[in-house]
Amino acid sequence: MTSKQILDAFSETLMQDDRILSPRERELLMSLLQNAKEASSDPQTQSAVTAAIARSVGETVAQRAFTLLGSSIVEQIVDRAATSSGIEGGVSAGVFAGPQPPSGPQPPSGPMTPSRPAPQPPSGPQPPSISLQRGARERIPATVFAGPQPPSGPQPPSGPGTQPLGPQPPSGPQPPSVSLRERSNVAVLDAPAIVRAQSVVLDEFLAPQEMDELIRYTLDHEAEFTSSEVISPSGEPGVTDYSHRRSRVLMDLGPQDDVILNRVRAVLPRVLAQLGMEEFPVMRTEAQITASNDGDFFHAHCDDAQEMIASRRLTFVYFFHREPRPFEGGELRLHDSKNADFVSAGSYQTITPQQNQIVFFPCSTLHEITSVQCGSRDFADSRFTVNGWLHQ
């Protein structure tokens, strides 16, 4: 057999194993490849998208195959150890070679815990790579784009937008660490002190042609961007507060609105599952394009902190910009919160803007945008995002 025949036979075997690729995932890949083919008639673009999908699928399949192989090896070792020692279902202390602990009483041996199955990729028409931000992941290379350039020159100072002020208790799983304290000879479990911020990150969210159209639309509508606003602590909307937020926004996404929101709806069930959130009926959606140039920022806030936006449940932030990236900073920080008073615990996870990447997190998560440094100050060199919220 040739090497190609061997690889084809091996791939066919993996395809038939639902532990490697479930039927739904196979349908997802077929839909994804079909969407990529329909999105662009350019053979080079189609080839690049197909190659990116192939890399992502290959990494996922390899990880799951190695996990299953490792589980099988461990099970065989356990079975052989049990047979040789006469103990069914257990492993004796001398099964594995390696450095031995100091002599003395040893803890009793117990059955090996089988490795857990690998996480499943998200549903919806995009590459199957999905990960919690706190875990390790590898990005697919971003697409380089070109677009019309507006006249150079400094941008007017921008101000706060419709984001609310004031932290709210973030949702998400609780950390496993607890403490014990003695009270009248009874050990009492203290509640965890920190609520960890959770997020889901998807790479290559839009097809290259879709991203290029969004970029062209954004640059063509530069004159329609206005200073960002916030909601005051008293609940008054439309307030400009340069000490809290500075950027510019475009509230009308035009035809790009349906492109973004349809793709968000497609991945929503899997995203909610990854975040540990229950599915909810989406009663209303918001979306806006934000341009952050030199010196722009957004201090720590929650997206559901005021009564008029309390129905927000899920926030998403989609990143896009010129290549190579013409700015520094503008990082999204998702803060861990103190359980008692819902303020920053002093720790956070940092998400650096990456081309064609989208981030999802609960609206109650305390977050901020760090200051942007853009030497040219040209509008086209801004940090661009599509910010959106799903209401229940």
Cβ partners under 8 Å of residue 264, min gap 6: 316, 358, 388, 390
Average pLDDT on 185-197 reads 62
Does residue 366 contact residue 349 with C-beta atoms inside 8 Å?
A: no
Q: Per-residue confidence at 81, pLDDT binned at 50, 70, 90? A: low
pLDDT at residue 56 in the model:
75
130-391 adopts what CATH topology?
A: Jelly Rolls (2.60.120)
Q: What percent of the chain has pLDDT over 90?
A: 44
pLDDT at residue 34 in the model:
74
Per-residue pLDDT tens over the stretch 373-382: 999 999 999 9
Predicted TM-score (pTM) of the model is: 0.55
pLDDT at residue 274 in the model:
97
Report the distance separating Cα 194 and Cα 371, nearest Å: 26
| Range picked from 79-88, 154-163, 287-296, 303-312 for highest mean pLDDT | 287-296
Q: Mean pLDDT check: name the lowest of 91-95, 100-104, 187-191.
A: 91-95
pLDDT higher than 50, residue 150: no
Domain locations in the chain as residue ranges: 3-85, 130-391
Task: Residue 58: name the closest of 128, 143, 132 by CA.
Answer: 128
45, 208, 209, 368 from 212: Cα distances, Å: 12, 6, 5, 27
Report the distance separating Cα 366 and Cα 343, nearest Å: 8
Report the distance separating Cα 351 and Cα 139, nearest Å: 13
Q: Which residue has the tokens 């993996």?
A: 14
Average pLDDT on 76-94 reads 51
Q: What is the mean pLDDT of the chain?
A: 76
Centroid of chain to Cα 45: 25
| Range picked from 27-31, 131-135, 144-148, 162-166 for highest mean pLDDT | 27-31
Per-residue pLDDT tens over the stretch 206-220: 999 999 999 999 999
Average pLDDT on 183-205 reads 73
pLDDT at residue 200 in the model:
98
pLDDT at residue 192 in the model:
56
pLDDT at residue 312 in the model:
97
Cβ partners under 8 Å of residue 5, min gap 6: none
pLDDT at residue 84 in the model:
53
Q: Per-residue confidence at 60, pLDDT binned at 50, 70, 90? A: confident
